Amino acid sequence: MRSLLTSAMGVCRQWRDLIRTSPSLRRALYFESDKRAADDPHRPPVYNPLLVELFRPLFNKTANLSKRPGIDDLAIEALPIGRRTRAFYRRNASWRRMHVRQPPVEHVGFWVCTGGMFWSCTATMVIYPAGLRMEGLYFWALKYSYGWQESCLISWTAKQRQTLWQISVEKTLRKRAEEMSRMADVIFTAHFYADCMYEDDERKKYDPNGLVTIGKRWFKMKQDGDWATEWEEEDSGLYD
């Protein structure tokens, strides 16, 4: 797979055009959805091996919800893909357009709990009719890991998803949690403990270009100095 993306495309223009236009090769490279995989409900999903290698923390399928593990560090430098930072940040980088798996992820669930003395949870679902691409997955991972002081977990396996309702503290949401566990292809579970922000908090610091660093991660910020990130934009807000 890596050879097709790098070495083979550099052989000649004809090979490059073939790889870019061939439906079978595009499916093999996860640029197009595989309808055969979608038509067989008993066929287990096949995750993009290149993305699993380069974004390993996002594809942890062995985590136990009861232990509240989180995405410890999504800093670019900490990821295998971070060895080639320029290639990672390119707007047309191939990893951005790749499907996460075959069949593609269509239903993404979000289970978010916030609180201080009292906790409340919300459950939402986002549908991607054409399938979630890796850029979108990384976008959501950054959104729900940045600033979440307790944990941010990505649940891929049926066992992980089915235990979601067990951590619901609100009985009114348990039905919704069960529904999400059944329908979603992947679920982001985030816990946030609300607190105050002091003037010297490093999240307040930003440069004239509107970039802020948390650890070694850079995020685009609002130009008025507000520390909230512009997550509502289609772009992930990452710059080199």
Nearest to 74 by CA among 18, 2, 152: 152
pLDDT over 60 at 196, yes or no: no
pLDDT over 70 at 226, yes or no: no
Choice between 158 and 193, residue whose per-residue pLDDT is larger: 158
pLDDT over 70 at 136, yes or no: yes
pLDDT over 50 at 69, yes or no: no
Residues making up the chain, counted from first to last: 240
- What residues have CB less than 8 Å from 123, skipping those under 6 apart? 109, 110, 111, 112, 173, 176, 177, 180
Q: What percent of the chain has pLDDT over 70?
A: 50
Question: With bands split at pLDDT 50, 70 and 90, how would you rate the model's confidence at 116?
Answer: low
Which tokens hold the place of 151?
Answer: 């944990």
- Give the model's pLDDT for residue 102: 93
Q: For residues 81-108, give the mean pLDDT.
A: 81
Alpha-carbon dihedral 76, 81, 84, 86, rounded to 10 degrees? -60
For the question of whether the overall pTM of this predicted structure is more than 0.75, the answer is: no
Contact 30, 48 (CB under 8 A): yes
Question: With bands split at pLDDT 50, 70 and 90, how would you rate the model's confidence at 54?
Answer: confident
pLDDT over 80 at 192, yes or no: no
Contact 182, 163 (CB under 8 A): no
- Give the model's pLDDT for residue 106: 92
Q: Strand, coil or helix: what is 28?
A: helix
Using CA atoms, how far apart are residues 210 and 221, in angstroms rounded to an integer? 5
Using CA atoms, how far apart are residues 219 and 238, in angstroms rounded to an integer? 6
Using CA atoms, how far apart are residues 107 and 184, in angstroms rounded to an integer? 5
